[in-house]
Structure 1
Amino acid sequence: MTHKATLATALVASIATQVSATAQEPQTPQETKSLQPVTTIAAKIPTPIEQAPGNTSIINKHDIAIRPNYRFTDTLRGHEGVLQPKGRGMETFDGAMIRGINNGALLMVDGVVLNDINNNTKMLTTMRAHDLERVEITRGASSALYGSGALSGAINFITAMPDSLSVYGSLGYGNPFSQNGAPENLTNWYLSIGDSFFNKSLRVKATYGGSFSSGYAADNAWVNASGDNGISGLSGSVPSHKTDGTPIVLVGDMGRQRYATHDAKIKAQADIGSSGVLDAWVQYSNYNYIHHRQQSYLRDENGNVAWGNATSPNSAQGSAPYAFVGGMGNEIYNQVISALSYTHYFGSNEWRTSLNHTYGNDIWAGPSGGASPFGGAGSKQDHHYNTLNVESTFTLRLSQAHSLLFGVQERYSGYKQNAYNLSDWRDFASSTALSKTITGAHNFLGVFVHYQAAWSKYFSTGLSGRWDLWQGFNYTDTTKPNAPNATHNQFSPKLSLNFTPFSSDYATTIIKASGGSSFRAPTFNQKFRDYIRNDGVQTSGNPHLKPEELYSYDIGLEQSLYPKSTFAAQVKIYYFDSFFTNAITTIGKNLENAQKARINGIELSYRQKLFGYGGLFASYTLYNAKLTQDLISGSQVIAAGNRLAGVPEHSGYVQLYYDDGRLFGSLSCEMASKRYKDLDNASQKVWGVYSSSDAYYLLDMRLGYRFQHLELSANFTNLLDYKYYAYYRAPGRAFYLEVASRF
């Protein structure tokens, strides 16, 4: 399918039939009423939590306000089965892991899918949590409604809209307690202005938020401990190891990541007559960073700072002075989202249609061998991303207890990269020659149906099915022969059963079970990119990769006690089991559909209100993530039973909170066990060094007080100053002070 044909299909579909992907709370009297919270993400129609498939969570504004939440993804911390990234402050690969599957979740903002052709959701790092009304999480196979990428679940970040004049602004400043221990001179700002007009039939809101930090040095600069490493005759180096136990010496750091982010959005909702709602918004996001102020530990015989003596462009990976800039550089990322949707009500039936487009431009420049912290030759990659999504659903209310949803969706993703040589890696404008151009496109055409039924007050079911046609085409690389197009058909079913054997004002017992299949198409990078990590590990893309498939089920119990009292409590326990086939993994230096794996485990959570103003939230997740077959690479055998890379065995969270309307705050502890770097677990012998993923125990606190129009708060993160690496050296103890005002 060509890009032109895809655009034509999108325009026709947007005029004829399309569903609004925007997952908002019910707005019409036709919507289902329930004492339970209502979610939209789990079934694409408003559904009470007790009838939603599997383990579904709603994070409300109160949950967001009582603890340190800077970015959208910070709000996910501590929820069972969900891990959000830990890194070096600004997460250039922001996202979330659900049930132990890296990049296995579909992430949305107001229903617009953020996952691009490489399955990245990078610009989440720019979005301020102040803008959120709520966050919805559904766990388990979700391709039956959302298609490719929803392997282990989906998350929707829903922004707030006003029904009267509302002005809110905040300004904050933070710093580490020790020099270079965390992002320094951190400032965040946020402003929103909204109002409603024409008897509240038109609602408009504009927001702008941003951040700045002079950064901290999270990356070690190192050279090999043996051989001609370019530092002979120099003192000051520090002995260390790679994760595989190979001796190295630290010679300094790769510099501080100074960054700035910006995010601006304008959104409008209009009631069209008495039975329609039009929703439109545009959002611009940007981040940029540079690694600067590199530090050398090396000293010459006179005690002066030295940078090593290996200056040849042919110097080996990790040699000085390349060590001080290796893999680091400058990046500028711009993204624009444009979204339009319309909802029309036909009595109790509903038709929704939406069209959205995302454009991203990512420019990255880094050094070549022989460069120094002060300049030298480098390369630049200019990436262009486009995603066009059109979706339509019609919900037929067969009765008060039975609903049938029909949907169609097309999602096109295009990519183009121009690579240039640079005379100075620090200067984007110093391009000397175009070295190559690569392109590619993916198109997903999906048709789906969902049947929701409440057979009695005790028993409800959900049944979904989706057929997807995935096409990969226009794969070109000016330095290689063009790759063949790819076509794949996929059917994704899902069944859920919910049983409520007991419900009263004193207690409610819900038993849930769900199961289905999901899939994830290979990313563009997996098919074509040759990549060398900072630690020297190299992988090569494979243009013949097929989609990954996952078969999973879960069964759980949710028990509520005294839900209307000031001591309301809820316990949730779920067992989940997932089976991977055709999983993409690295064999030697190549990517192959070779992995079969199983991830099963337990999700636990407990909520307890205390006297109406306070409460306790605790969660725990066990991940048993292992290979189920041997993988062979030459003479190397990666044994079945090895743990999957990047997945901890345990994660947990405990939070005490209080909010009486004036005084508010929380004290929380988050933990996760260590994670193996590669499938060959035996190759990792050392943790607590650069590029490892260590266990961590983080104690955080937030304290605040609200006046009539003013709010003051203080956040303290990693209070124990726990030292660990999340590939990079993670931030240590830091404080953050904020003043906010609302009118």
Structure 2
Amino acid sequence: MDTITKNNQNFLLVAQSESRDIITGDSQQDKKESSVKIQQNHYQLKGVVATGSTLQSDVTKIPGNMSVVDSKSIMTMPNTKITDTIKRLPGVRIDNDVSFNPRPKVKIRGINYGTLLMLDGVILSDLEGESRILNQISLYDVERVEVARGSFASLYGTGAIGGVVNFITSMPNKFETTFITGYGNELVKGQGDQNTFKIYGSIGSAFFDKRFKVKLSAGYTRGDMEAGFPTYFANGDNTAQNSGLSGYYVDNAGQTIIGTGGRRKLQTYDIRLKTSYDISENDTISAMLSFSNHYYRFSGYTSFLKDSQGNPTDLICLTDKPYKNYFIGSGLGGIGSYSHLLGNLNYIHDFEDSTLKIAFSTMNLFSWWQDADRDNANNPGTINGGAGKTQDTNSSSNYLDIIYQDNHFDNHRVSAALQFRYYKYAQDQRYMTNWLDKNTRTDSYRNFGNDALVASAYINVDSQWLDSLSTNIGLRYDFWQNFNGYFYNQEALSQNTTNEENRLSVFSPKFGINYKPLSTNTQNLIFKASIGTGFRMPTMRDKYQFTHASNYWDINPNLKHESALSFDIGTEYTLDSKILQGQFTTSLYYFQIELRDMIYREGSGDENNPWKFINAGRGRILGIEYAFSIPLFLEGLTLDGNYTLTRAIVLKNPTKPTTEGKQIPATPLHSFNLSLNFMSHAPSGFYSSLWAFYVPAFYNNDLNSTPLRNTYGYYEDQFSLNLKIGYRFHNGLDISVSFYNMTNYRYYDFYQVAGVSAYAQLGYKF
């Protein structure tokens, strides 16, 4: 069986709910299997019976392209962090994916900020559109990852017009404890991640005939990560000749490179407590609480500069400026800390032929970042202290979901929900007298924020008309209210606003149909099609992105929401073959998304043509997602691959007609993944995975200028080869070694990726 289930065969997603968190505890399943009062469906897929709660859907009825990454794949493939589990799936891209990026951006089908990310059903995105928590979550705590693409994904609401990713953590069915630790380092000096250390532990059990379950887990990561960018003269100081220095060079974009920015010395930790309790045969309550943090500090920059006597230096003096150290205060380095408090509380009651679920969840961010102010005339920042600037960001996202599912009818299932959201976001940028001391903050020079209240309702009907024919009909309504919006900028007082507010009322209908003309013990063929609408509100980062280092930005607080009409059609085929010693699967999907008031990034990011998020009149994203898994005549050995075509173009843009017909920036036209996997079905034995991906060069601006090689800020041809080899013993011991970027090809994905490294891991599960 292919461990990354590409053709939807094991997808267990809650029926069309924005808070679709899965009932993963086995006690819920045990209870329902023993109860005669609850309608239960069993579906035989790939030789596995998928038995879930009544809030789950038969995967063969879900319209659109779905994927699941199971626990075996997560543990046996060469993953370094949680986002690695999904970036090899068709249609999925992680933007600017460098080492432990503290702010990973997941894109599905080319839509910026159009992917909703969840952990155990809790939405991780905030008003800023960021998911800083994502790479704080311990990789080893995740049991399954579910990815939904297409129109029905937008039943989650705003932010899901491209798709949804739900990371699901495990729960025990008996007493179990896990311990995992490992160490990794670069294999070519100065080019890869150094001194990576990880440790993870969990303990959990089930009590009272498995009615009460509890699990406590914690993960910690430390390392010196490759920064992925050079340091160069910023703010127009690109005339190194005037400084009397040598050793610098000018790259392909005309940027003066004076050295490397050093390494991101980071540490992350993630602590999580999960519980569930079956109060009665018909009532279950569950809860989760977690706290996580990502702290980093840049150090170890390397200067290429030499003074007039040929001595190494990191200080620069131009004719009209005092000496400065350009390796600090660029806006790319500094010190940062992102903390998250996350929790949810769920109650489920099963009636005789229906189910009610009430869920409350909250996600809170407390973060700060600080860097030197090298332009301060009275107290310029130095490597040892001095003036600085800081950015403090706090946000709170709170959710209440009331979901009802009716199963009275043999061939129809009705789901309905009321959902309420309250968001709060504030960012304060201040001066500091000592950028190394967080207690030296003084006056604000820029701050902004916003509150939002969202009330939503949806209804969805799944109908089985014939054994081979089913449909899905859904309708969602959202009322979005922004209020208490403000913006203050000491450097541009004319931009300042207070008490900003606006309202939005949106209906989003959906329709899907599945037809299965062939279904036998050895073969399954299914055709799927779906169409629906959705919308996305502009994020705070869309509106307020500021210049840092050489990345020049203009703000746009007047952005409008974008609307999407999404359509996809596809087919999936499965064949159990005794000759091939396994199951052959393949799928092919065509998707098309028509965008109105599309939000995209215009400009080139330089001083004369800064980047800026704007609304284009119309945009279109269309493409193909193809995937296959082929068994190779040996049980457990498969060749898996996929190809994605994403043609994302500006159709009409009255504000900038020269961009019409151009590919949307930072969106690759093609991507390829191929992996050779061996995973024994036995509980012990050898396993391995060799994975390669390739992406041709693509554009970094809306005029589609030719991508430059070996240049910071550009997207050149990308190739990476990764390997993991391990062995599981009967006693629960697991030993493995992984190699990342084995060819040491350090391509630019905006930033430069880390070179070849190795990582050895030891795990034990009892």
Question: What is the aligned partner in structure 2 of residue 58 from structure 1?
Answer: 68
Taking structure 1 as reference, are residues 313 and 469 closer, same or farther at Cα in structure 2, changes over 3 Å only?
A: farther
- 2:415 is equivalent to residue 410 of structure 1: no
Question: What is the aligned partner in structure 1 of residue 287 from structure 2?
Answer: 280
Taking structure 1 as reference, are residues 524 and 625 closer, same or farther at Cα in structure 2, changes over 3 Å only?
A: same
Question: What is the aligned partner in structure 2 of residue 426 from structure 1?
Answer: 436
Question: What is the aligned partner in structure 2 of residue 489 from structure 1?
Answer: 505
In the alignment, the residues of structure 1 paired with residue 110 and residue 356 of structure 2 have an alpha-carbon distance, to the nearest angstrom, of: 36
Q: Which amino acid aligns with 1:33?
A: H
- 2:316 is equivalent to residue 309 of structure 1: yes
8 Å contact kept, 2:265–2:298: yes
- 2:533 is equivalent to residue 517 of structure 1: yes
- The equivalent position to 2:563 in structure 1, one of 546, 549, 567, is 549
8 Å contact kept, 2:303–2:313: yes
Bigger CA drift: 218-227 or 640-649? 218-227
Give 1:261-276 correspondences, 5 Å limit: 261-276=268-283
Q: Which amino acid aligns with 2:669?
A: E
Taking structure 1 as reference, are residues 619 and 79 closer, same or farther at Cα in structure 2, changes over 3 Å only?
A: same
Three-state SS of the structure 2 residue aligned to 1:125 is helix
- 2:743 is equivalent to residue 729 of structure 1: no
Question: What is the aligned partner in structure 2 of residue 585 from structure 1?
Answer: 600
Question: What is the aligned partner in structure 2 of residue 329 from structure 1?
Answer: 334
8 Å contact kept, 1:143–1:492: no
- The equivalent position to 2:742 in structure 1, one of 689, 706, 719, is 719
- The equivalent position to 2:401 in structure 1, one of 351, 366, 391, is 391
Q: Which amino acid aligns with 2:666?
A: G
Question: What is the aligned partner in structure 2 of residue 672 from structure 1?
Answer: 695
In the alignment, the residues of structure 2 paired with residue 437 and residue 336 of structure 1 have an alpha-carbon distance, to the nearest angstrom, of: 23
Question: What is the aligned partner in structure 2 of residue 663 from structure 1?
Answer: 686
Taking structure 1 as reference, are residues 146 and 500 closer, same or farther at Cα in structure 2, changes over 3 Å only?
A: same
Q: Which amino acid aligns with 2:521?
A: D
- The equivalent position to 1:401 in structure 2, one of 407, 411, 433, is 411
Task: Provide structure 1 residue ranges, at least 5 long, that are not aligned to the other structure.
Answer: 1-17
Residue by residue over 1:605-629, the C-alpha shift from the partner in whole angstroms, topping out at 9 and shown as x without a partner, is 0012343222121111111111112
Question: What is the aligned partner in structure 1 of residue 163 from structure 2?
Answer: 153
Question: What is the aligned partner in structure 2 of residue 6 from structure 1?
Answer: none
**TM-score, length basis structure 2:** 0.89
Q: CA deviation at 1:664?
A: 0.7
In the alignment, the residues of structure 1 paired with residue 596 and residue 449 of structure 2 have an alpha-carbon distance, to the nearest angstrom, of: 28
Q: Which amino acid aligns with 1:92?
A: P
Task: Provide structure 2 residue ranges, at least 5 long, that are not aligned to the other structure.
Answer: 1-16, 34-38, 376-380, 490-495, 604-609
Q: CA deviation at 1:638?
A: 2.6
In the alignment, the residues of structure 2 paired with residue 654 and residue 299 of structure 1 have an alpha-carbon distance, to the nearest angstrom, of: 46
In the alignment, the residues of structure 1 paired with residue 238 and residue 198 of structure 2 have an alpha-carbon distance, to the nearest angstrom, of: 47
8 Å contact kept, 2:295–2:338: yes
Q: Which amino acid aligns with 1:395?
A: Q
Q: CA deviation at 1:38?
A: 8.5
Residue by residue over 1:337-356, the C-alpha shift from the partner in whole angstroms, topping out at 9 and shown as x without a partner, is 12100111002311011001
Q: CA deviation at 1:466?
A: 0.3
In the alignment, the residues of structure 1 paired with residue 399 and residue 320 of structure 2 have an alpha-carbon distance, to the nearest angstrom, of: 45
In the alignment, the residues of structure 2 paired with residue 699 and residue 530 of structure 1 have an alpha-carbon distance, to the nearest angstrom, of: 34
Question: What is the aligned partner in structure 2 of residue 3 from structure 1?
Answer: none
Question: What is the aligned partner in structure 2 of residue 12 from structure 1?
Answer: none
Residue by residue over 1:217-238, the C-alpha shift from the partner in whole angstroms, topping out at 9 and shown as x without a partner, is 4221123899644763222112
Bigger CA drift: 586-595 or 331-340? 586-595
8 Å contact kept, 1:606–1:617: yes
Question: What is the aligned partner in structure 1 of residue 761 from structure 2?
Answer: 738
Q: CA deviation at 1:524?
A: 2.1
8 Å contact kept, 1:695–1:724: yes
Residue by residue over 1:287-306, the C-alpha shift from the partner in whole angstroms, topping out at 9 and shown as x without a partner, is 01111122111112333221
Q: CA deviation at 1:84?
A: 2.6
Three-state SS of the structure 2 residue aligned to 1:538 is coil
In the alignment, the residues of structure 1 paired with residue 620 and residue 19 of structure 2 have an alpha-carbon distance, to the nearest angstrom, of: 35
Residue by residue over 1:63-104, the C-alpha shift from the partner in whole angstroms, topping out at 9 and shown as x without a partner, is 212211232211102211112345331112124211111221
Q: Which structure 1 residue ranges, 4+ long, deviate > 6 Å from structure 2?
A: 37-41, 224-227, 311-315
Question: What is the aligned partner in structure 1 of residue 619 from structure 2?
Answer: 597
8 Å contact kept, 1:548–1:580: yes
8 Å contact kept, 1:68–1:702: yes
In the alignment, the residues of structure 2 paired with residue 176 and residue 79 of structure 1 have an alpha-carbon distance, to the nearest angstrom, of: 27
In the alignment, the residues of structure 1 paired with residue 321 and residue 427 of structure 2 have an alpha-carbon distance, to the nearest angstrom, of: 26
Taking structure 1 as reference, are residues 312 and 268 closer, same or farther at Cα in structure 2, changes over 3 Å only?
A: farther
Q: CA deviation at 1:630?
A: 3.9
Taking structure 1 as reference, are residues 241 and 292 closer, same or farther at Cα in structure 2, changes over 3 Å only?
A: same
Three-state SS of the structure 2 residue aligned to 1:532 is coil
Q: Which amino acid aligns with 1:34?
A: Y
- 2:243 is equivalent to residue 232 of structure 1: yes
Taking structure 1 as reference, are residues 236 and 67 closer, same or farther at Cα in structure 2, changes over 3 Å only?
A: same
- 2:581 is equivalent to residue 559 of structure 1: no
- 2:720 is equivalent to residue 704 of structure 1: no
Q: CA deviation at 1:639?
A: 2.9
Q: Which amino acid aligns with 2:538?
A: P
RMSD: 2.4
Residue by residue over 1:530-554, the C-alpha shift from the partner in whole angstroms, topping out at 9 and shown as x without a partner, is 5114323212132x32211111101
Give 1:123-522 correspondences, 5 Å limit: 123-142=133-152, 144-223=154-233, 228-229=239-240, 232-242=243-253, 247-310=254-317, 321-327=325-331, 328-370=333-375, 371-479=381-489, 480-482=496-498, 484-522=500-538
In the alignment, the residues of structure 2 paired with residue 563 and residue 500 of structure 1 have an alpha-carbon distance, to the nearest angstrom, of: 20
Q: CA deviation at 1:571?
A: 0.8
Q: CA deviation at 1:449?
A: 0.5
Bigger CA drift: 457-466 or 533-542? 533-542
In the alignment, the residues of structure 1 paired with residue 227 and residue 281 of structure 2 have an alpha-carbon distance, to the nearest angstrom, of: 57
In the alignment, the residues of structure 2 paired with residue 372 and residue 299 of structure 1 have an alpha-carbon distance, to the nearest angstrom, of: 19
